[in-house]
Amino acid sequence: MPKLKTHSGTKDRIRVTKTGKVLRRHSTGSHFLQKKSAARKRRFAGTEQLTGTQSKNMKKKLGV
């Protein structure tokens, strides 16, 4: 069976930790910031952990 290629878009957006957790950034946190409240912008900061089927699919795309 041939080697599977890593999905280029996914490798730039998703990170897998040593323990196998899949982390991603929040969406809509980098543009049109003037209309968003400070509390809302703070919630966009940091990363979010993917779980379940989403996590499984992202690992498959990354070849992990």
- pLDDT, tens only, 1-59: 888 899 999 999 999 999 999 999 999 888 999 999 999 999 999 999 999 999 999 99
Q: Distance between CA 34 and CA 11 in Å, rounded? A: 30
**Which tokens hold the place of 12?**
């730039």
Q: What pLDDT was estimated at residue 7?
A: 94
Instruction: Output the CA–CA distances (angstroms, integers) from residue 14 to 33, 40, 42, 59, 61, in the order listed.
Output: 23, 22, 20, 9, 10
Q: Residue 32 is which amino acid?
A: F
Domain residue limits, the chain? 8-27+35-62
Q: What pLDDT was estimated at residue 26?
A: 92
Q: What is residue 51's three-state secondary structure? A: coil
